[in-house]
Amino acid sequence: MERKSPKIEGVDVTVTPLPGLGTQQEFTTGSGRRIGVITHRDGRIELIVSDAQDPDKICAATELTGEETSTLANLLGAPQLVGKLTEQQREVTGVTTWQLPLVPGSPYDGRTLGETEMRTRTSVSIVAVIRDGSVHPSPRPDFVFAGEDLVVMVGTAEGLRAASEILENG
Amino acid sequence: MQHTATALIELGAVFFGLGVLGRLAWRIGLSPIPLYLLGGLAFGQGGLVPLTGIEPFTELASEIGVVLLLLLLGLEYSASELVTGLRRSWTAGLIDAVLNAAPGALVALLLGWGPTAALVLAGVTYISSSGIIAKVLADLGRLGNRETPVVLSVLVFEDLAMAVYLPILTALLAGVGIMGGLGTVGISVLVISLVLVLALRYGRYVSAVVDSPDPEVFLLRLLGAALLVAGVAARLQVSAAVGAFLLGIAISGSTATNASRILSPLRDLFAAVFFVVFGLNTDPSAIPPVLPFALLLVVMTTTTKFLTGWVAAARQGIRRMGRARAGAALIARGEFSIVIAGLAVGSGAVPGQLAALSTTYVLLMAVIGPVAARVVEPVAHRVVNTVAGSRS
């Protein structure tokens, strides 16, 4: 059982060979549960989460396809992006970042970003749109919104409230 | 012509029957090996439906079955995994060997079968079934569990132990005697080290001999190389099984992975024939007299394997429930116990009852193993609760 521990952004990742089967990479969360990935010899990838009572045991394991893996990575990575943006905006007093859902059936469901005239009406900037777990950074005015998009916006609190009103009611 | 037709019908019926049995076995979460053995017992001498006319084929097919079983055992772990496994788990491996070989040896001596039979039965009770265990761990979703690497490293050690054990066994079965036996120990350890070094340093050259991007060519080369090496090894009195096993270790990297994938169905086919033939050659009427001893072995070696897993897991700082899971997972015996018994019975150097004892033992252990792995958690919980209840 060779255990190597490369550090990824301050988290200890343990690599354990599973002889005859593949490799397991995992880390332990602050709450004491192990989360990891088993890469089988034939390339199959399995996501594992350890049991809350018995950390030695796995309570959930599911096989993921290549596409599913990248979707999951994006889903988990998106809030990171918003977090980083918030961090960057913190310097500028009074400016914050919001992440708002575009509900299906919103007046802008199926219309372009340009049509919202967001910047003119509220001075809020739309910096990214997250759709199906993948991030579309700096969307252009011809970007077409769809229901369940997550719209990441930067602006003043007042402007953002107005912007959310616009996205919801037009 | 008439003869061929009968042979085809009989073979077809046997394979189809095995297929139905195999499906049934995995449905209820068991290994098909005990059912194959039972199938063999039913068809064989003194059985329900004696088969005639297909012996020349089944005998050769069962030999090929052994060669493929051992070749794939060798392919299962890469040379580097074997070396790391040896370095990390030799204490657990030694505990495993001592605890689980002893009951077999003791029972053989108790029955007055002599030292060679004792060595054979020690091997039968020692070696866990990596096939059954890997399948059960995957089915139960335990691959990510912390005790699983411990279980696997014990299996890796057993794999290496086989590489030393089989040549010694072959030499003793051929009647070399104790001193000659010690000589073969030296030679086999030397050969294993050589093969490991060869596989680690020059594995890609060995792999290159058999490798081919075309699956058809690859399969033919692999099978050809395996049978050639096995045949030459048998000629040199080293046993075909050992030759195939060493070839498996020497083939490495992606070639090994591809080889296991491409050969697995073939192995399953020929190994099934091997189990049936072993069952065929076992006289069912020889079973009742050895049954008490088989049961004794079952009780002893279930306990010793459980202890092995428990201790090995404890050494890695795993909690009690995980230790229990590791212990239960290791209990299954199967294909390699039958291979060892088959080598011995085939040589004629051991009493025929050994076949009956081994068949009965493996029949039971191949069923008990997966069941134990499944029920260990509820049982352990109940034990813990009872203990806690009686204390309060």
B308-330 tens-digit pLDDT? 999 999 998 999 999 999 999 99
Of A38-47, A70-79, B46-55, which gets the smallest average pLDDT? B46-55
Contacts of B148 in chain A (CB under 8 A): 18
Contacts of residue B274, defined as CB under 8 A and 6 or more positions apart, other chains included, come to B61, B62, B63, B65, B66, B69, B338, B339, B342
Q: What is the pLDDT confidence band of residue A140, given thresholds at 50, 70 and 90?
A: confident
Residue pair A62/A123 in contact by the 8 Å Cβ criterion: no
Of B284, B357, B278, B392, the closest CA to residue B108 belongs to B357
Contacts of B316 in chain A (CB under 8 A): 1
3-class DSSP string for B190-215: HHHHHHHHHHHHHHHHHHHHHCCCCH
Domains defined for chain B, CATH in brackets: 54-376 (1.20.1530.20)
CA distances to A108, B77, B93, B121 from B157, in Å: 64, 11, 6, 19
pLDDT for res B223? 92
Pick left, alpha or beta for residue B355 (phi over 0 → left; psi -120 to 50 → alpha; otherwise beta).
Answer: alpha
B144 touches chain A (CB under 8 A): yes
Of B263, B260, B234, B230, the closest CA to residue B247 belongs to B230
Which chain A residue has the Cα nearest residue B377? Answer: A57
Q: What is the pLDDT confidence band of residue A78, given thresholds at 50, 70 and 90?
A: confident
Name the residue type at position B357. L
pLDDT for res A92? 66
CB contact under 8 A, B318 and A2: no
CB contact under 8 A, A2 and B88: yes
Cβ count near A106 (within 10 Å): 20
d(CA A37, CA A25): 5
CB contact under 8 A, B143 and A61: yes
More confident residue, B222 or A98: B222
Locus of tokens 């988990």: A76
Which chain A residue has the Cα nearest residue B314? Answer: A56
Q: What is the mean pLDDT of residues A68-96?
A: 75
Which chain B residue has the Cα nearest residue A51? Answer: B145
Q: What is the mean pLDDT of residues B185-205?
A: 74
Contacts of residue A97, defined as CB under 8 A and 6 or more positions apart, other chains included, come to A82, A85, A86, A89, A127, A152, A153, A154
Greatest mean pLDDT among A89-93, B19-23, B117-121, B346-350: B117-121
Contacts of A1 in chain B (CB under 8 A): 88-89, 149-150, 153, 316
How many Å separate Cα B261 from the centre of its chain? 19
B76 touches chain A (CB under 8 A): yes
Of B341, B338, B344, B345, the closest CA to residue B69 belongs to B338
d(CA B302, CA B299): 5
pLDDT for res B178? 63
CB environment B290-317: b (16+ within 10 A), e (fewer): beebbeebbebbbebbbbbbbbbbbebe
Structure-block tokens of residue B388 = 């806690």
- Return the percentage of chain A with pLDDT > 70, whole number: 89
d(CA A135, CA A152): 10
pLDDT for res A2? 42
Contacts of B85 in chain A (CB under 8 A): 19
pLDDT for res B277? 87
Q: Which superfamily does A78-169 belong to?
A: Regulator of K+ conductance, C-terminal domain (3.30.70.1450)
Structure-block tokens of residue A68 = 């599913």
Q: What is the pLDDT confidence band of residue A1, given thresholds at 50, 70 and 90?
A: very low
pLDDT for res B314? 93
CB contact under 8 A, B144 and A21: no
pLDDT in tens, B102-123: 999 999 999 999 899 999 999 9
Q: What is the mean pLDDT of residues A121-128?
A: 86
What's the predicted TM-score (pTM) here?
0.78
A8 touches chain B (CB under 8 A): no
Residue pair A72/A49 in contact by the 8 Å Cβ criterion: no
Structure-block tokens of residue B253 = 């990297």
The ipTM assigned to this model is: 0.75
Q: What is the pLDDT confidence band of residue B290, given thresholds at 50, 70 and 90?
A: very high
Q: Where in chain A is the domain with CATH 3.30.70.1450?
A: 78-169
